[in-house]
Amino acid sequence: MSKELNNMKIYKSIIAALLVGSVLTGGLTSCSDSWLDVESKTESNTGNFYRTQDDAESALIGCYSAWRRTNSYGTWGFYMCSTLMSDECFAGTGVADTPDYSVVDRFDQSRYAAGTSLLESAWDSYYKCIYRCNELIRYDENGQIEWNDGAVRGRIMGECHALRALCYFDMVRLWENIPLLTEPTDNPNVPQANPDDVYATIVSDFKFAADNIPSDAYPRSEKDINDGRLTRFAAEGMLARVYLYYNGYYGKQLANLSKEEVVNYLDEIIKSGDYKLEQFSHLWPAASQTPAKDSHSWEKDNYKMVNDEVILQMHFNYIGNAYGSDEDKHGNRWIVMFGLRKFWASPYGYGWGCGTVNPRLASAFSRNDLRYKASIIDFLGEDLPSKMSNGSTGTFDDYLRDQREYTGYAVKKFTPTCYFDGETTIPGKTGTIVQEYQTQPYVILRYADVLLMAAELGGTPSKTAQECFDEVHRRAFTDEDGNLNDGYAQLTVTNETILRERQCEFAFEAIRYWDLLRQGVDYAANTIAENELQVLTGNQPDFITIKAENIRNKRGLMQIPQNQITLSNGVLHQNQGW
């Protein structure tokens, strides 16, 4: 295990401050108004903490903060890996950059031999979050916390269990063979667990959350002040995702979660009436904001950061520096990786050119599918060569000379935004450099996924599979005035049409790779494989080859950080193929 994890027995600091405010829709304001924005300056230790209900609430916020660090601490997190491992994107980045992203994109360690611990910060951050959750759970189970209200206990402990489940679900999919820690042990250097035991814990935790978080704990009428919280419905939706992934990847049934239970969970979400499909483009800033031509404002702004479709998303804030101290990293750091390489073309901001989009994904969208323009930056279709600038001098050819694996397409859903002159849209910040303080949330679960998972499972008692599917598919061809365009064609629900619909619906949302893998490792490997696809690197012809055997030999799993193997003194073993 890592040095940080070995020292977790003395990591007892708990966040003890909580500000309740508002996460505002539309134009973003400082997220310090949100409930999840303040790292406490007050430290407590386990000798005088975990006594009261208020202590437990503060400790829970500490768990949320640690969970956020799994994606804000470094660029190598679950989101980034899931996107690059899929058939959606290539590594990209700059010509002179070390090709470490290519290791993940190609499943090929030989491309960058020094990159043997690329995901170590994610590994450490997950276990830090798990440690905090385990400590709160232990003191609750020991009866040390004096609860004033049973419903409050159910909410707090339900969220805590769900956070631990989210961590383990990410980890077991990435690495499979991981230590399973359910107590804040002083000796965390333990052997890797049987994956079935990890999944049993994940299911148990999500079920605990679904059973104990009151359905009205976070009313949708107050979503502006509590968005980002784990709700009963988020736990239920995640149970469906766990069920489908496990049963597909392992080809067997989960021991403690039945199809009937999952269908009923999804039906409860549907019947709740709390969620609905939004206009698709309104879910993503760069797809719904049009810059004014002569001021630092938007001519049109339809972005809804908090909305009626997202069931769970991870929030980031303006506090702290993405390149600052260990506990000072709260911004969405990975989103900058997807920005245009050292250039901007408003509303698309400056970044590092990672994740150039596979042309096969661009061609997967049907004619007039509105999700295409909301999801993908089309360089030629949007005439970006005439709009791009680096703030002083530079041409499109200059951009191409610095960009690796240019395909003509980039990620739009998650990209920094800027005003007409390249100035950052972050309040209180100036300049075209947007490496810090990015706040666009990481969308984890949407109502559209609930509907498509329900369709895949044959429907629910209140909605047929075809009805679930049609609701999502029709939305993709319906404009802001509610008119259905002439690209729409009704499709019959089959496994193939559902998988294709999910490809277009959830592009770049860290879902596609796991959808492929649960069809079988061979299916995923053959789908992702590329044989000398021509791209441009440094404005010169280049070719991308991704070997199916590399994915197949590794069973689609990522490399366990080699430093963890070394520090474990023989306790941990590397995944096959790495």
Higher per-residue confidence, 217 vs 117: 217
What is the C-alpha to C-alpha distance for residues 90 and 453, in angstroms, rounded to an integer? 27
What is the C-alpha to C-alpha distance for residues 52 and 35, in angstroms, rounded to an integer? 20
Nearest to 243 by CA among 207, 269, 273, 268: 207
**Are 436 and 323 in contact, with CB atoms under 8 Å apart?**
yes
Answer whether residue 267 shows pLDDT above 60.
Answer: yes
What is the C-alpha to C-alpha distance for residues 150 and 327, in angstroms, rounded to an integer? 33
- Report pLDDT for 24: 23
Q: What is each CA distance from 187 to 127, 180, 567, in whole angstroms? A: 13, 12, 13
- Digit-coded pLDDT (tens) for 102-115: 999 999 988 776 55
Q: What is each CA distance from 217 to 238, 572, 573, in whole angstroms? A: 18, 41, 42
For the record, the structure tokens of 280 come out as: 């698709």
What is the C-alpha to C-alpha distance for residues 418 and 291, in angstroms, rounded to an integer? 8
- Digit-coded pLDDT (tens) for 33-57: 343 333 333 345 556 688 999 999 9
The region of weakest confidence among 36-40, 398-402, 559-563 is: 36-40
Higher per-residue confidence, 433 vs 55: 55
Q: What is each CA distance from 28 to 25, 292, 350, 434, in whole angstroms? A: 7, 16, 19, 15
- Report pLDDT for 453: 99
Nearest to 303 by CA among 472, 425, 203: 425
**Are 403 and 94 in contact, with CB atoms under 8 Å apart?**
yes
Nearest to 350 by CA among 359, 339, 361: 339
Please give the mean pLDDT across all residues of the chain: 88
- Report pLDDT for 391: 66
For the record, the structure tokens of 109 come out as: 């360690």
**Are 559 and 119 in contact, with CB atoms under 8 Å apart?**
yes
SS3 assignment, position 162: helix
- Report pLDDT for 116: 65
Answer whether residue 17 shows pLDDT above 60.
Answer: no
- Report pLDDT for 30: 29
Q: What is the pLDDT confidence band of residue 185, given thresholds at 50, 70 and 90?
A: confident
- Mode of pairing for the β-strands spanning 376-378 and 409-411: antiparallel
Across the range 369-393, mean pLDDT stands at 91
Nearest to 290 by CA among 191, 373, 385: 373
Across the range 320-324, mean pLDDT stands at 46
Answer whether residue 23 shows pLDDT above 80.
Answer: no
What is the C-alpha to C-alpha distance for residues 381 and 447, in angstroms, rounded to an integer? 30
SS3 assignment, position 417: strand
**What is the 8-class DSSP label of residue 87?**
S
Amino acid letter, residue 118: L
Q: What is the pLDDT confidence band of residue 549, given thresholds at 50, 70 and 90?
A: very high
- Digit-coded pLDDT (tens) for 436-457: 668 899 999 999 999 999 999 9
- Digit-coded pLDDT (tens) for 283-318: 999 999 999 998 999 999 999 999 999 999 999 876
Across the range 268-280, mean pLDDT stands at 98
283-321: string of b/e by CB count within 10 Å (b at 16+)?
Answer: bbbbbbbebeeeeeebeebbbbbbbebbbbbbbbbbbbe
SS3 assignment, position 75: coil
C-alpha of 270 from chain center: 23
Across the range 389-409, mean pLDDT stands at 89
Number of DSSP helices (H) and strands (E) in the chain, helices first: 21, 12
With the C-alpha atoms ordered 232, 234, 235, 240, is the resulting torsion angle positive or negative?
positive
What is the C-alpha to C-alpha distance for residues 299 and 67, in angstroms, rounded to an integer? 36
